[in-house]
Chains A and B, each alone.
Chain A
Amino acid sequence: MAEVWRRFTRNRLATAGAAGVLILVTLAVLAPWVAPRDPLYIDMDHKFARPGQAGFVLGADELGRDVLSRLLHAGRVSLAVGLITALIAVVVGAVLGALAGYYGGALDAVIMRLVDVLLSMPTIFLLLALAAFLKPTMWTITLIIGLNSWMSVARMVRGQVLSLKEQEFVLAARAAGAGAGRLIVRQLMPNAVAPVLVAATLTVATAILLESSLSYLGYGIQPPTASWGNMLNNAQSYVLYAPWVAVYPGAMISLTVLSFNFAGDGLRDALDPRLGP
């Protein structure tokens, strides 16, 4: 563990990424206390207030709502969607991938064909079809995007399990009497963690962007609740004459995606035993 930590902290980008993630999550958690105003309060007299005008630190949007407060509260929504989606994707993907890799045969075939079918469907259409049946709330959107993101994790885990299950340490454990479950959890999964972590960080980014696309079509997080995605979509009409409404949520999405990616990459490098000391 100490070895991993050391390798991680020596990687500047990774540390910056991790710090970024930490700051973003903290701000999101503390949003209700840190935000200067009510993010939902409409004040038409201050429509499009410029940053710094009338006490609006980052300006106001088309309904006179404080951009900074909305940004902070939106962070909760977007990060929650991103993180929980990644969790769903990782859990479902890892379980199905491990089962497919370990047992092989018919189970493997069924699971992998399911993966193939879902991967071949354009994401947006799949999401729209599901969204037409389920009412768009934060939870249903998270569920939908999560169930759409587990496939690559499954393939990765399956690949790892396949390559590892004939190795000596696994055969030894089996000879010692370990059952399938124990083998999968104790021996095989830990070695699949590295690629899965990277996939998880990418999933966070994709999830935030997918939520934004859903908003554009009317099936995302519903107004007046703010998410970075729907703030960005709302702002596209006003980019030329009220750019602050678009720039800040866009910057937050970029920062989040970068932070998670750097941290994820750093973690993968730190965990990989094949890279030198």
Chain B
Amino acid sequence: MNVSRRQLLTGAAALATAGGLRARRASAQAPTPAVMPQKGGQIIVGITQEPQNFNPVMPTIETQRGVHMAIFDDLWRIDGKGNFVPNLALTIPTQSNGGISKDGTLFTVKLRPGVTWHDGQPFTARDVMFTWKTIMNPAVTAFSTVGFDQIADMWAADDTTLKWKMKQPYAPIADILADMFVVPEHVLGRSADINKDEFNTRRPIGTGPFKFVSRAAGDHIMLEANRAYHGPGPYLDRLIFKYVPDLTVLFTQLKTGEIDVTGLQGIPVDLYPEAKTLTSINLYVDPSTSYETIAPNHLLPMFKDKRMRQALYLAMDKKPIVEKIWLGLAPEAESYVPPQSWAYNPKIKGRHRYDPERAKTLLDEMGWKVGADGIRVKDGTRLSFENACTAGNKQREQIQQLLQQQWRQVGVEMKINNKPAAVLFGDFYRMSKFETIVIGMAMGSDPEHSFRLHSKYIPAKGGMGRNSVASESPEIDRLLEAGVRDIDREKRKKAYFRLQEVYADELPYLPIFHYVNIRGTRKGMQGFQPNSNMQEYSWNTNEWWIKKG
């Protein structure tokens, strides 16, 4: 039974998020429920960033999470329209069915009986409790503790009944749990060190629709169907994630049939005109909750002052990026909240102005004087910094070079030093060792964004999150906390509206545009559902099948 978010957290009337997340399909391929899925075959998903860690509790990137979603299960997932879909939970808890207490803090979830791990052991509520405890364990490097730290305690009332108590009502908890994939207590509970266990790299064991078979480093990951899955599906025999670092090659492989699905980072926009003409693929163009941004490291003295960030933003001309590189498909971004979200503040639209003269004035005011070579200097330091992006991503490389030229005009020197994704998004980014980066980040299904913005979640300072720009703004912290305190959507909106105003002034990041996801699948593939509410489009691999003939 699918439940909308409104039913889950009773409060004031909530606007459905459904409207903005409609998928616009370039070619009609709507599967009707009456069609019986055919069994057999394999699907190869091409991805441009290589998954290396198969433990969903540890720090991750989206393509890696895409693999986790096939091997592991969570309590529930969120579909493309914003509805919760039960996975390990039998039903979604609501106040009306008694799953959530009147004060909104005690949750009771009935779990599916008869679920087994890939090694045959029975799954119980204790495994879910263990997963949460592992995430909160300070000795474990967890992917995030945001939201999980709002749970006071979690316990198993019996094998199929899970209960937990929130410290106080916390609106995004259901969304956050949609990204918590359950790991086995009977395996990891005995591990000497979860951070280094071979479970992570060679022997992941989940309850999901596909079992891990093998990984050929630098090439592919092979999964096979879990015939004991609680269902629905899986219908495929095998699921393969193939690592193709270059986006152009990824598209070529889709055309030739070497891959069946383009995973992240999808079809590059400059190939979109060609993709539209192909009859051998289904093309999907959907608004995303991801946004492309420049991430300046606040630990560097020059970026600590918000006027510097404002000056760089004023000197950024977004028009050529949005219109010439992204062909007008991607809307400009003023903050992390995309236009289709219920939390989007319409007054923010158009707030960014391209004003290089104002940027120059601001820099002059700060004491940065233009030197002999055209680059500003202050106290012997040149206004020069490095920028890195994922090597092989042509759009990002073009954006970098454009910005380099734009910033040079106001006396700022940006040097390009690119790296492969696995290196860039390892410790280099996470532990704030960079100067600036071009990065895409997702808001996800809920406007709660402490993971990237709250000063509690700076990994270089011991936090378990991804505020790797080390932004420390008391006002932003306060508004983020206010946003989750109330489950009443109208009250939350107030906080997020104000947050967007503050964001536009403080500019912890310099957001450029909101992504659209351009993806392709081979004709004949069924069950594919674009979904920007989960981290990757491989959120429902159990429902994928191939129509033969």
B187 to chain A, nearest CB (A): 34
Cβ-defined contact, B405 with A42, below 8 A: yes
**A203, B268: Cα distance in complex, Å:** 36
- Tell me if B59 counts as interface (CB < 8 A to partner A): no
Q: How far is the CB of B277 from chain A (nearest CB, A)?
A: 12
Q: Is A218 an interface residue (CB 8 A)?
A: yes
B417 touches A224 (CB 8 A): no
How many residues of chain A are within 8 Å of chain B by beta carbon?
24
Looking at chain B's contact residues, the main secondary structure is helix
B402: nearest residue on chain A (CB-CB)?
Answer: A42
Name which residue of chain A comes closest to B319, CB basis: A44
Which of A63, A132, A219, A236 makes the CB contact (< 8 A) with B401?
A63
| A60 to B417 CA separation, bound complex (whole angstroms) | 24
> A223-B397, A237-B394 are known contacts. Are A218 and B320 too (CB-CB below 8 A)?
no
A237-B401 in contact (CB<8A) = no
CB distance from B465 to the nearest CB of A (A): 27
The one of A47, A135, A240 in contact with B324, judged by C-beta atoms closer than 8 angstroms, is A47
Judge whether B418 is part of the interface by a CB distance below 8 angstroms.
yes
Residues of chain B in range 387-425 having any CB-CB distance to chain A below 8 Å: 391-392, 394, 397-398, 400-402, 404-405, 415-420, 423
A252 contacts chain B at the CB level, 8 A cutoff: no
Check B418–A222 contact: CB distance below 8 A: yes
The residue of chain A having its C-beta at the shortest distance from the C-beta of B271 within the complex is: A237
- Does any Cβ of A come within 8 Å of B270's Cβ? yes
Out of B248, B268, B416, which one reaches A222, CB within 8 Å? Answer: B416
Quick check: is A62 within 8 A (CB to CB) of the other chain? Answer: yes
**Contact status of A224 and B248, CB under 8 A, knowing A44-B320, A218-B392:** no
Quick one: closest B residue to A241, CB to CB?
Answer: B274
In the bound assembly, the distance between CA atoms of A274 and B392 in angstroms comes to 51
Question: Pick the contact of A44 from B246, B324, B391 — CB < 8 Å?
Answer: B324
Establish whether residues B418 and A40, one from each chain, have CB atoms under 8 Å apart when the complex forms.
Answer: no
B147 CB to closest chain A CB (Å) equals 35
CA distance A135 to B417 in the complex (A): 8
Q: Cβ of A63 and Cβ of B420 under 8 Å apart?
A: no
Known interface pairs A44-B324, A237-B271. Does A217 touch B420 (Cβ–Cβ under 8 Å)?
yes
Instruction: Say yes or no: is A41 at the interface (Cβ < 8 Å to chain B).
Output: yes
Q: Is the CB of B416 within 8 A of A44?
A: no
CB atoms of A44 and B392 under 8 A apart: no
Query: Which chain B positions have C-beta within 8 A of A224?
Result: 401, 404-405, 416
Given contacts A62-B270, A237-B248, A237-B271, contact A42 B420 (CB under 8 A): no
Tell me, yes or no, whether A17 is within 8 Å of chain B by CB.
no
Q: In the bound complex, how far is the Cα of B268 from the Cα of A31, in angstroms?
A: 34
C-alpha gap A58/B391 in the complex (Å) = 27
Residues of B within 8 A of A47 (CB): 324
A-B contact count (CB 8 A): 55
Kindly identify which residue among B248, B271, B325, B391 contacts A236, using a CB–CB cutoff of 8 Å.
B248
A165 to B248, CA, bound (A): 56
A20 at the interface (CB under 8 A from B): no
Is residue A136 contacting chain B, with contact meaning CB distance below 8 A? Answer: yes
**Neighbour of B402 across the interface among A63, A135, A217, A241, CB < 8 A:** A63
Distance (whole angstroms) from the CB of B454 to the closest CB of chain A: 32
Smallest Cβ-Cβ distance to B400: which chain A residue? A223
List, in ascending order, chain B residues with CB within 8 A of A240's CB. Answer: 274
Give the chain B neighbours of A136 by CB distance below 8 A: 417
**CA A241 to CA B401, docked complex, whole Å:** 22
Q: Which of A258-275 contact B (CB under 8 A)?
A: none
Give chain B nearest CB distance to A122 CB in angstroms: 13
Residues of B within 8 A of A219 (CB): 391
Bound complex: CA of A40 vs CA of B402, how far in Å?
Answer: 10
Question: When chains A and B are docked, how far (Å) is the Cα of A240 from the Cα of B271?
Answer: 11
Q: List the B residue with the shortest CB-CB distance to A62.
A: B398
A33-56 CB contact bits vs B (8 Å, 1 = yes)? 000000011101101000000000
Q: Taking the nearest CB of chain A, how far is it from the CB of B133, in angstroms?
A: 37
- The interface centre, meaning the residue of A44, A132, A216, A218 with most chain B CB atoms within 10 A of its CB, is A218
Query: Chain B residues with Cβ under 8 A from A44's Cβ?
Result: 320, 324-325, 402
The answer for the CA separation of A219 and B417 in the assembled complex, in Å, is 8
Q: A227 to B392: give the CA distance in the assembly, Å.
A: 17
A222: nearest chain-B partner, CB-CB: B416
User: What 1/0 mask marks residues of chain B from 247 to 275 whose CB sits below 8 Å from any chain A CB?
Assistant: 11000000000000000000010110010
CB distance from A126 to the nearest CB of B (A): 16
Q: Name the residue on A nearest B268 (C-beta).
A: A237
Contacts of B274 in A (CB 8 A): 240-241
Known contacts being A62-B394, A237-B248, A237-B268, is A42 close to B401, with CB within 8 Å?
yes
Instruction: Check A40–B324 contact: CB distance below 8 A.
Output: no
Partner of B398, one of A40, A63, A135, A218: A63
Chain B residues, CB < 8 A from A41: 405
Identify which of B270, B415, B419 contacts A218 (C-beta below 8 A): B419
In chain B, what residue has the closest Cβ to A218?
A: B391
- B209: min CB distance to chain A, Å: 35
Given A47-B324, A62-B270, answer yes or no on A223-B394 (Cβ-Cβ < 8 Å): no
For residue A239, give the distance in angstroms from its CB to the closest CB of chain B: 9
The smallest C-beta distance from A121 to any residue of chain B, in angstroms, reads: 17
Interface residues of A in 232-247 (CB under 8 A from B): 234, 236-238, 240-241
Q: How far is the CA of A40 from the CA of B408 in the complex (A)?
A: 12
Identify the interface centre among A40, A42, A241: most chain B CB within 10 Å of its CB.
A42
Chain A residues near B419 (CB-CB < 8 A):
218
Nearest CB of B to A91, in Å? 30
Shortest CB distance A134–B (Å) = 12
Bound form: Cα–Cα A217–B423 in Å: 12
Would you list which residues of chain A between 191 and 228 have a CB under 8 Å from chain B?
A: 216-219, 222-224
CB distance from A273 to the nearest CB of B (A): 50
26 A-B pairs with C-beta separation under 8 A? A42-B401, A42-B402, A42-B405, A44-B320, A44-B324, A44-B325, A45-B324, A216-B246, A217-B391, A218-B391, A218-B418, A218-B419, A218-B420, A219-B391, A222-B415, A223-B397, A223-B400, A223-B401, A223-B416, A224-B416, A234-B394, A234-B397, A237-B247, A237-B270, A237-B271, A238-B270
Top 5 A-B pairs ranked by shortest CB distance? A218-B391, A44-B320, A237-B248, A44-B324, A218-B418
Q: A219-B391, A234-B397 are in contact. List 9 more A-B contacts (CB 8 A).
A: A42-B405, A63-B402, A218-B419, A223-B401, A223-B416, A224-B404, A234-B394, A237-B268, A237-B270
